Amino acid sequence: MQRVSSNMPHNDTQFYLRRQEERLSHIQSKIAQQTRIRELRDDPLAASHAVRYESYLTRLERFEKNTLYAKDHFNYTDVYLRQANDVLQRVREISVQGANGLYSPDDMKYMAVEVNELLKELVALSNTLGPDGRQLFAGDKAFTEPFRMVEGMVEGGGDTMVVRVEYRGAGATRQAEVTDGVYTTLDISGGEAFWAENMQLFSAFDASDYRVTEAASFYVDGEEIVAAPGDSVQAIVAKINESGAPVKAFVDPISNGLALEGTNPHFIRLRDGEDSRVLQDLGVIVANADPGAPNWNPSARVSGGSAFDMVIRLRDSLFRGDYEFIGTQGLGGVDLALTNIQSRIADIGSRQERAEMTWSRLNEEIPAVTAALSRESSLNFATAATDLGMMEFAHKATLQTASKILPQTLLDFLR
């Protein structure tokens, strides 16, 4: 015969009370965390959807921040490019005045002095720091001044003036991801914004018998080009032209050397890859310890100046009183610089507009995804509060009933 212990009612009561308290604690935790899914078993399908929604929402919020940063960056860049455009417009006005032949030599010198000051202002604008402390037009060299002034004596000038402006920046490859797998280029380098003429470079090395001896690579405006063993200069030319670099390559019919020409006004950046000497062997560049300085081979012919070169050339012609040069090459060079900077302003404006449209789309998509996440995981507080009240009432009633059924006195422990 099985013995019925007097502890059984007590143990059963304790078991069901603990289970009831567990359910009460579970719903209290849901209310505290404001979610109906605390564990995967609560709703496996909704939990899987919620995880995907949360992941996508996090990415959208990151894209929104990237887009806002891009918008602010483009706005800031646009302001300084427009100021540079205003400076060049004033230089152009002076060149038109100086070309009409109505001013005395002293007046021409006064104009030249003003042009020199405008040149300094143009250099200051090109070396502007952004709100994040980075150089605005230095490309990837964010903490290097992109343009360096070299001062000296100018014939007719008297005082020390700017005689040369050197570009020491890099290409602009910094990008921001604004949607999944879609990037926008943030920067515009000084070698693009403050240039005037299409650069040309002609190597003096006769490459008729040139052959690449081993696998190598080199870079043209940041685009990597791979050279295979046995490649001739014609093969090198073809690979450069097939790359995405804004440069046209050909063989110079006079020197039989490699020749490069920019397809738009910009500073052509060239370098050999690691343990490679293709461009050096072709007489285009030299190994340069200073990565910020131009690395052209001294024997190569390089042409195509910056906006600063055009302003310096105009200023010197004003000092000389050369009306013909001012009205032709001087004015023409300034016009080239203006045309280029205005095209760059248009480019920044288009990026700005795209960032604005992307930001607007993200601000519509984020609430939609948030609503979907809420449908899957959010707690119905009215229902939860009702359930909590019922459970608390049932728990109190259970405790009261148990206290009457199982009274505990000192005699209960002495039996």
What's the per-residue H, E or C state across the chain? CCCCCCCHHHHHHHHHHHHHHHHHHHHHHHHHHCECCCCHHHCHHHHHHHHHHHHHHHHHHHHHHHHHHHHHHHHHHHHHHHHHHHHHHHHHHHHHHHHCCCCCHHHHHHHHHHHHHHHHHHHHHHCCECCCCCECCCCCCCCCCCEEEEEEECCCCCCEEEEEEEECCCCCCCEEEEECCEEEECCCCHHHHCECCCCEEECCCCCCCCCCCCCEEEEECCEEEEECCCCCHHHHHHHHHHCCCCEEEEECCCCCCEEEEECCCCCCCEEECCCCCHHHHCCCECCCCCCCCCCECCCCEEECCEHHHHHHHHHHHHHHCCHHHHHHHHHHHHHHHHHHHHHHHHHHHHHHHHHHHHHHHHHHHHHHHHHHHHHHHECCHHHHHHHHHHHHHHHHHHHHHHHHHCCCCHHHHHC
Residue 341 reports pLDDT greater than 90: yes
Q: Which of 303, 326, 350 is the last residue of a domain?
A: 303
Residue 40 near residue 46, CB atoms below 8 Å: no
Residues in the chain: 415
Tens digits of residue pLDDT in 267-286: 999 989 888 899 999 999 99
Residue 93 sits in the same domain as residue 160: yes
- pLDDT tens, 159-170? 788 889 989 888
Q: Is the pLDDT of residue 1 over 50?
A: no
Does a structural domain hold residue 265?
yes
Tens digit of pLDDT for each residue in 93-118? Answer: 999 998 887 888 889 999 999 999 99
Mean pLDDT of 25-53: 66
Residues 64 and 183 in one domain: yes
Cβ neighbour number for residue 39 with a 10 Å cutoff: 9
Please say if the pLDDT value at position 244 is more than 70.
yes
Which of 349, 365, 381 is a domain's end point? 365
Q: Looking at residue 129, which CATH number applies to its domain? A: 1.20.1330.10
Confidence of residue 42 (pLDDT cuts 50, 70, 90): low
On average, the pLDDT of the chain sits at 85
* 6 within some domain: no
Share above pLDDT 90 across residues of the chain, in percent, rounded to a whole number? 49
Please check whether residues 287 and 318 belong to one and the same domain.
no
Non-local (6+) Cβ contacts of 103 within 8 A are 97, 111
Do 316 and 294 fall within a single domain?
no
- 184 and 75 in one domain? yes
Tell me how many domains the chain contains.
Answer: 2
Asked if 170 and 311 sit in the same domain, the reply is yes
- Residue 105 to residues 102, 152, 328, 346: CA-CA distances in angstroms? 10, 22, 19, 39
Least confident of 22-26, 59-63, 355-359, 360-364: 22-26
- Statement to judge: residues 356 and 286 lie in one domain: no
Same domain, 205 and 181: no
Last residue of a domain, one of 324, 339, 365: 365
Q: What is the per-residue pLDDT across 323-334, written as a single tens digit (0 to 9) for each?
A: 889 989 999 999
On whether the CB atoms of residues 155 and 316 are closer than 8 A, the answer is yes
Domain hosting 208: range is 200-303
Region 362-369 average pLDDT = 88
205 and 137 within one domain: no
pLDDT of 219: 92
Residues 140 and 83 reside in one and the same domain: yes
- The arithmetic mean of pLDDT across residues 191-206, rounded, is 94
The whole-number pLDDT of residue 216 equals 92
Greater model confidence, 50 or 254:
254
In this prediction the pTM is 0.78
Tell me: do 114 and 141 sit in the same domain: yes
Residue 32 in any domain: the answer is no
pLDDT over 50 at 298, yes or no? yes
Same domain, 215 and 299: yes
